[in-house]
Amino acid sequence: MKNNCTPEATSALFKKHFGHTPTHVVAAPGRLEVLGNHTDYNHGLVMSVAVDRYIFIASSPRPDGRVELISSAFPAPEKFSVSDLKSNPAARWADYVKGVLAQLRRRGVLFGGFNAAIHSTLPLGAGLSSSAALEVATALAIRRLHPFTLTETGTAQPPQANPRGELPPVTPVERMHYARLCRAAENEFVGVPCGILDQVSSLCGRAWNVTSLDCQALTVDYAPLPGVVLVVCPSGVNHALIGGEYKELRDHCESAARKLGAKFLRTVELKQLQAARTALTDREFACAHHVVTEIARVVAAERALRADDLAQFGQYLFQSHESSRDFLKNSTAELDQLVELARQHPACLGARLTGGGFGGATLNLVVHHEAEVFMTHMATGYEKQTGRKLQPDLCQIVDGAR
Ligand code: GLA
């Protein structure tokens, strides 16, 4: 899973298929949710990082209003007209691109046809959010081809390129508009009712730092993560948010909030929730309990991180996993095994499932110089317990998409 796919490899893929060099190559990173499971769509708090696994898009404009997409992950190209953005059941992967194009059009961004080659170092379905990275890369590719400035309500005067033809960087405020646009693409075109965490992480991450996102105010803050590394352990059981479980959790949270007279669980206190126990179904109570305590954990964890107390910070990760497992119930036997194995190793400060759940991967916070031995411990232990091969992966924290 290491970076054998680079911008150069993406250009080469483009050239092989289209017969000429692309005019632009963009990259958008995947993300790891560090703490704050299923808090985003409840307008809560969440911590994440952008990681050094990317979706690359190489592109060139074409004059006939048509789009041709190729992907190194899928055999057949997908061809369509910019004025006819429909899902093709035989090429669902292209929905993320089409969804973003549809949102751009809705906001008045004018763009023509283009050819694009998509290449990825992000494992599909492992919980690193390849879908958000593809959405973000698509929006940035269109910005290169047909420059535009996004605003709260639509678009403004396009940015001017410098004499070398380079556009100014996307501003932090505009990045949040991009995140909303990409989330809307996923909600409306792809049909996944996700929150905004993945898109913000891919756009707003900062190298060496944890990003704290307030999903109500839509603001981000950063805190360095020194002396530790992040190790991802894919359980080998892939998740699919399109499956009904994610939506079911969201529905429970939303109906719990309604019954508590709140717009979102963000504003509910644990005492208030406990007092209203009998007004809620068991699942509503359990999901709300997770969300309310998880938001409190993010607040406490941020304090620990700023005080350089990584041991305490890690404890919140373990607690988060227990809450996801016992209350939200989005863990699996494999994820639980991975967390328990990690807990046995002294170099592991914290571990938890990361992302939507129901499969995917665990995130492990590991003392820097012990990463190697920790990864061997995990691979050997997991294979012994489950018969499954495990390839733990060390991720670097990187800047958001450029
Ligand atoms: C997925 C979704 C996010 C978020 C997480 C759980 O990654 O895409 O919006 O809800 O699950 O925290």
Domains of the chain: 7-221 (3.30.230.10), 225-395 (3.30.70.890)
In angstroms, the CA 358 to CA 126 distance is 11
pLDDT, one tens digit per residue, over 134-153 is 999 999 999 999 999 999 88
Residue 239's pLDDT is 62
Q: How far is the CA of 277 from the centre of ligand 1 (A)?
A: 26
pTM above 0.85, yes or no: yes
pLDDT tens figures, 210-260? 999 999 999 999 999 999 999 999 998 876 555 689 999 999 999 999 999
For residue 39, give the ligand 1 atom closest to its CA. Answer: 12
| Atom of ligand 1 lying closest to residue 38 CA | 12
Instruction: Give the residue, out of 40, 135, 215, 324, with the most ligand 1 atoms within 8 A of its beta carbon, to mutate for a pocket test.
Output: 40
Atom number in ligand 1 closest to CA 246: 11
Question: Which of 34, 37, 38 to probe ligand 1 with, by most ligand atoms within 8 A of CB?
Answer: 38
Give the distance (Å) from ligand 1 centre to CA of residue 65: 34
Atom 11 of ligand 1 has which residue's CA nearest to it?
Answer: 356
Contact criterion met (CB below 8 Å) for 41 and 263:
no
For ligand 1, the distance from its centroid to the CA atom of residue 177, given in whole angstroms, is 18
Quote the tokens at residue 219. 């603001």
- The rounded Å distance from CA 190 to ligand 1 centre is 15
Atom number in ligand 1 closest to CA 186: 8
Residues with CB under 6 A from ligand 1: 33, 37-38, 40-41, 129, 194-195, 197-198, 241, 355-356
- pLDDT over 90, % of the chain: 91
Q: Which two tokens stand for residue 90?
A: 């035989």
Strand 66-71 and strand 113-120: pairing?
parallel
Q: Which is nearest to 64 in space by CA: 42, 79, 53? A: 79
At residue 402 the predicted structure's pLDDT band, cuts being 50, 70 and 90, is confident
Tell how far the Cα of 283 is from the centroid of ligand 1, in angstroms.
19
To which residue do tokens 């592109």 refer? 59
Q: Ligand 1: which atom is nearest the Cα of residue 37?
A: 12
Would residue 35 be called left, alpha or beta, if left means φ above 0 and alpha means ψ between -120 and 50 degrees?
beta
What spacing in Å lies between the alpha carbon of 305 and ligand 1's midpoint?
22
Contact 229, 52 (CB under 8 A): no
Tell me whether residue 308 is one of the annotated catalytic residues: no
Per-residue pLDDT tens for 323-365? 999 999 999 999 999 999 999 999 999 999 999 999 999 999 9
pLDDT recorded at residue 241: 56
Which parts of 129-254 are beta strand (E)? 149-150, 155-156, 209-214, 219-224, 228-234
pLDDT band at 2 (very low <50, low <70, confident <90, very high): very low
pLDDT, residue 1, reads: 39
**CA 49/CA 216 separation, integer angstroms:** 19
Nearest CA to 15 among 116, 143, 137, 165?
116
The residue from 40, 95, 198, 393 that is catalytic is 198
The set of long-range contacts for 9-13, using a CB threshold of 8 Å and a minimum separation of 24, is 9/56, 9/119, 10/56, 10/57, 10/58, 10/117, 10/118, 10/119, 11/58, 11/117, 13/58, 13/70, 13/72, 13/117, 13/119
Which residue's alpha carbon is nearest to atom 1 within ligand 1? 356
From 32, 130, 194, mutation site for ligand 1 pocket: most ligand atoms within 8 A of C-beta: 194
